[in-house]
């Protein structure tokens, strides 16, 4: 019995019955299927295929030359080696258009799974309706890919759209389930500073989403875009600093000096009443100082070069980039090699690069913000200049403090130091000690910051601290100086600190300190006597030294912001000196807190908060040492007392130098005390050997 022919099968002579037009379409489709996608950059794709929607612009073809500053970030998408892009930019300049163009490029030419993250689910819906849908409608190649959306098509919903080879999903950062639902190759995070600190209990939203890139590790791309917010707590600022920190350089129309445009170089005159004279607004070149007209600024914006500006270490030298190749990659001044990785390309752009807004308009906004108050200034700083707002002017940038180091070396005591004070901060696995020098003119010097490792419930670390108290530091005069007073924080490990202070009672200069949130003074007097478990005062209980740490923090932050004077000129009062070999980490810790102002139930409260990602032990040690100096009367010392201290150092210097040659060798130090826990209170007791 012969089998029947299926109705879906094609007979051998079916092709011969096709019309010539059908054969031609089949041939064209076959050829199109075998043709690989063109090798294009995102800029090429956008200028060839993208049509702007009238909902968000004036419509028409996309031309990157209209906003030339957008070219660099878009070119980075296909730049060899780039795996992550951070865009810290002002509002209404390039962020959303950049994300749209990246979306269109991958959907059309390199289809793959794409995830777009917005701050909330509602923002994801809005992006889909107001941004993605109009782009698909008005861009022919995308409209052909998606076709007509059907209400019952499960593969094409408001926040999840499938296309051949991939899909684009839009979610809110507040949903950990949606963030971790499926593997993705391209991650686009918009407005990251508005994300919650944690998505549920699973961690930061960006971190959760980036875990989804593991399946496509070889060719994945992650993008973060946002305007910055508060310095030290801005996610986009942190991401930008982790990248290669590219800045947009333009050439001066007068001297051709290339420079990154800064708000500080915009100048204008004021009337006697303080009003801004907007007709005098002009940008001034950092090279020749010439003022640019608005027309000259627009000409300069036609030729923008993005350059890496992140500091790097190469050939054993720490360098700030001052040489670049034609692609903007930083070069080592010694070997000429590319010194900064481009794996994480980060960009910053302000309204100074916006051709559609004049400088006069920008300054007018600043004048209005100055009258409106702090919140308006903050908004201007964030949205117009793409710079973080510092809530406390006393908290300087650590890079500025690091750049004004002195010439003396760590462990050495300069001539201006007249006494040494030390503060110790106690952690579970270490004790950190800061030794500071104090002199005239309210100046102070960081002499040494030392970390003593060891569990603080064990005797070894306390023995090391006791040994350190026996040490001396070499003064430039040749004298050996010892620490006058030791202040040890008792806030976190009270029992252990009290036991150690009791064990050092014979010295007479070792104190348990208690930090107080007070702006009254650095030294607030003696605290209450310690008690036992029942709250009863111990007969021989220790009395803590109360330190006004808020006062100390405010004081040192203001002093760290002082500029180093020119050679030959005296240092300003209160100048804080740092050794030439101080590390970046020490300086970061020294500037790790900032003063924030919050309004709670109608009442304004100020508090010091640690900048995210930094430790603050160096700052704490400095505050305790400052409290010890205040306790010894440093704040009220007169010249006669300073002269006496100077004479003591001078008189001891020859003795130290003379005895160094013929004195018998010093006896070895006594063995360290053995510490053990005793009693129900768990205090540490000292046992002689």
Give the count of beta carbons closer than 10 Å to the beta carbon of residue 119.
20
Give the count of beta carbons closer than 10 Å to the beta carbon of residue 504.
19
Q: Under a CB-based contact definition with an 8 Å cutoff, are residues 510 and 502 in contact?
A: no
Mode of pairing for the β-strands spanning 419-427 and 430-438: antiparallel
Q: Under a CB-based contact definition with an 8 Å cutoff, are residues 423 and 627 in contact?
A: yes
Q: Under a CB-based contact definition with an 8 Å cutoff, are residues 627 and 545 in contact?
A: yes
Q: What is the pLDDT of residue 106?
A: 96
Q: What is the pLDDT of residue 673?
A: 42
Separation in Å, CA 578 to CA 452, 485, 619, 642: 21, 21, 13, 22
Dihedrals φ, ψ of 531, to 5°?
-120, 170
CA distance 374 to 266: 21
Rg (CA), the chain: 33
Q: What is the pLDDT of residue 153?
A: 59
List, edge to edge, every strand of the sheet that includes 576-577: 523-529, 543-548, 510-516, 483-489, 419-427, 430-438, 444-453, 576-577
Task: Kindly state the tokens that stand for 319.
Answer: 């360098």
CA distance 35 to 30: 9
CA distance 436 to 446: 5
Show me where the domains of the chain are located.
Answer: 36-309+341-389, 401-661+670-678
Mean pLDDT estimate for the chain: 85
Q: What is the pLDDT of residue 18?
A: 64
Q: What is the pLDDT of residue 645?
A: 94
Q: What is the pLDDT of residue 26?
A: 75
Q: What is the pLDDT of residue 632?
A: 92
pTM of the model: 0.61
Q: Under a CB-based contact definition with an 8 Å cutoff, are residues 242 and 66 in contact?
A: no
pLDDT digit string (tens) for 407-458?
898 788 999 999 999 999 999 999 999 999 999 989 999 999 999 999 999 9
| pLDDT-flagged residues of the chain (< 70) | 1-20, 29, 32-37, 148-155, 200, 391-395, 528-541, 597-605, 654-689
CA distance 402 to 399: 5
- Beta carbons within 8 Å of 265's beta carbon, 6+ residues apart: 283, 284, 285, 286
Q: What is the pLDDT of residue 600?
A: 53
> CA angle 295-296-299, nearest 5°?
90
CA distance 173 to 202: 12
CA terminus-to-terminus distance, the chain: 110
CA distance 150 to 170: 18
What b-and-e string marks burial along 418-430, b requiring 16 or more CB atoms within 10 Å of the CB?
bbbbbbbbbbeeb
Task: Kindly state the tokens that stand for 166.
Answer: 């991939």
Q: What is the pLDDT of residue 512?
A: 93
Q: Under a CB-based contact definition with an 8 Å cutoff, are residues 309 and 346 in contact?
A: no
DSSP 517-558: --SS-SEEEEEEEPB-TTSPBPTT--EEEEEEHHHHHHHHHH
- Beta carbons within 8 Å of 576's beta carbon, 6+ residues apart: 443, 444, 445, 446, 556, 559, 560, 562
Q: What is the pLDDT of residue 357?
A: 92
The conformation of residue 215, written as its DSSP 8-state character, comes to G
pLDDT digit string (tens) for 103-153?
999 999 999 999 999 999 999 999 999 999 999 999 999 999 987 544 445
Q: What is the pLDDT of residue 676?
A: 40
Residue-level length of the chain? 689
| The CATH number of the domain covering residues in 36-309+341-389 | 3.40.50.300
**Helix/strand/coil percent split, the chain, to 5:** 35, 25, 40
Mode of pairing for the β-strands spanning 603-610 and 160-163: unpaired
Task: Kindly state the tokens that stand for 50.
Answer: 């993208």
The conformation of residue 128, written as its DSSP 8-state character, comes to I
Q: What is the pLDDT of residue 532?
A: 55
The conformation of residue 106, written as its DSSP 8-state character, comes to H
Domain 401-661+670-678 is of which CATH architecture?
2-Layer Sandwich (3.30)
Task: Kindly state the tokens that stand for 515.
Answer: 């930090």
CA distance 109 to 164: 11
Q: Under a CB-based contact definition with an 8 Å cutoff, are residues 389 and 378 in contact?
A: yes
Longest dimension (CA), the chain: 126
Mode of pairing for the β-strands spanning 523-529 and 291-292: unpaired
Q: What is the pLDDT of residue 80?
A: 94
Distance of CA 405 to the CA centre of its chain: 21
């Amino acid at each position: 019995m012969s089998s029947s022919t299926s109705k879906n099968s094609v007979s051998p002579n079916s092709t011969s019955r096709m019309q010539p037009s059908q054969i031609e379409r089949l041939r064209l489709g076959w050829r199109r299927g075998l043709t690989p996608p063109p090798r294009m950059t995102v800029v090429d794709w956008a200028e060839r295929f993208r049509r702007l929607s009238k909902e968000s612009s004036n419509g028409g073809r996309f031309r990157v030359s209209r906003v030339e500053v957008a070219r660099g970030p878009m070119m980075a998408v296909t730049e060899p080696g780039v795996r992550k892009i951070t865009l810290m930019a002002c509002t209404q300049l390039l962020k959303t258009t950049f994300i749209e163009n990246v979306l269109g490029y991958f959907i059309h030419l390199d289809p793959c799974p794409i995830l777009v993250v917005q701050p909330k689910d509602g923002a994801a819906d809005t992006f889909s309706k107001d941004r993605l849908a109009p782009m698909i409608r008005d861009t022919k190649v995308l409209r052909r890919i998606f076709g007509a959306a059907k209400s019952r098509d499960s593969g094409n919903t408001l926040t999840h759209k499938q296309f051949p080879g991939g899909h684009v999903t839009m979610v809110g950062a507040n949903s950990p389930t949606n963030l971790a639902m499926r593997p993705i190759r391209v991650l686009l995070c918009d407005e990251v500073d508005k994300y919650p600190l944690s998505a549920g209990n699973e961690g930061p939203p960006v971190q959760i989403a980036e875990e989804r890139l593991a399946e496509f590790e070889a060719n994945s791309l992650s993008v973060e875009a946002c305007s910055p917010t508060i310095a030290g707590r801005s996610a986009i600022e942190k991401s930008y600093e982790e990248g290669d920190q590219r800045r947009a350089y333009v050439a001066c129309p007068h001297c051709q000096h290339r420079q990154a445009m800064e708000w500080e170089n915009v100048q204008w005159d004021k009337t006697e009443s303080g009003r801004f004279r907007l007709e005098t607004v002009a940008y001034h070149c950092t090279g020749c100082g010439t003022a640019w007209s608005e027309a000259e600024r627009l000409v300069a914006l036609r030729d923008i070069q993005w350059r890496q500006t992140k500091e790097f270490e190469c050939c054993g030298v720490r360098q700030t980039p001052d040489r670049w190749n034609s692609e903007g990659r930083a070069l080592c001044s010694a070997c000429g090699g590319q010194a900064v990785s481009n794996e994480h390309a980060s960009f910053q752009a302000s309204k100074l690069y916006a051709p559609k807004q004049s400088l006069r308009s920008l300054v007018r906004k600043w004048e209005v913000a100055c009258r409106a108050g702090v919140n308006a200034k903050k908004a201007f700083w964030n949205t117009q200049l793409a710079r973080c707002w510092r809530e406390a002017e006393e908290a300087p940038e650590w890079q500025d403090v690091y750049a004004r180091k002195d010439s003396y070396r760590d462990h050495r005591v300069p001539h201006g130091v007249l006494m040494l004070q030390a503060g110790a901060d106690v952690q579970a696995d270490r004790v950190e000690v800061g030794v500071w020098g104090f002199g005239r003119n309210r100046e102070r010097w960081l002499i040494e910051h030392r970390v003593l490792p060891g569990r603080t419930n064990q005797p070894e670390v306390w023995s090391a601290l006791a040994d350190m108290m026996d040490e001396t530091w070499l003064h430039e005069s040749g004298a050996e100086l010892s620490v006058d007073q030791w202040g040890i924080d008792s806030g976190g490990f009270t029992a252990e600190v009290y036991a150690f202070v009791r064990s050092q009672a014979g010295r007479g200069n070792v104190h348990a300190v208690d930090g107080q949130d007070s702006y009254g003074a650095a030294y607030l007097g003696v605290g209450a006597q310690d008690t036992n478990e029942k709250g009863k005062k111990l007969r021989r209980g220790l009395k803590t030294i109360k330190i006004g740490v808020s006062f100390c923090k405010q004081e040192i932050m203001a002093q760290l912001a002082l500029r180093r004077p020119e050679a030959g000129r005296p240092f300003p009062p209160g100048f804080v000196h740092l050794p030439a070999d101080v590390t970046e980490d020490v300086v970061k810790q020294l500037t790790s807190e900032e003063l924030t102002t919050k309004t709670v139930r109608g009442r304004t409260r100020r508090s010091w908060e640690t900048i995210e990602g930094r430790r603050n032990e160096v700052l704490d040690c400095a505050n305790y040492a400052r409290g010890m100096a205040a306790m010894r009367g440093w704040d009220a010392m007169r010249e006669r007392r300073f002269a006496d201290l100077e004479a003591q150092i001078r008189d001891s210097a020859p003795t130290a130098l003379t005895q160094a040659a013929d004195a018998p060798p010093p006896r070895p130090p006594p063995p360290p005390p053995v510490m053990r826990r005793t009693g129900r209170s768990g205090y540490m007791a000292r046992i002689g050997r």
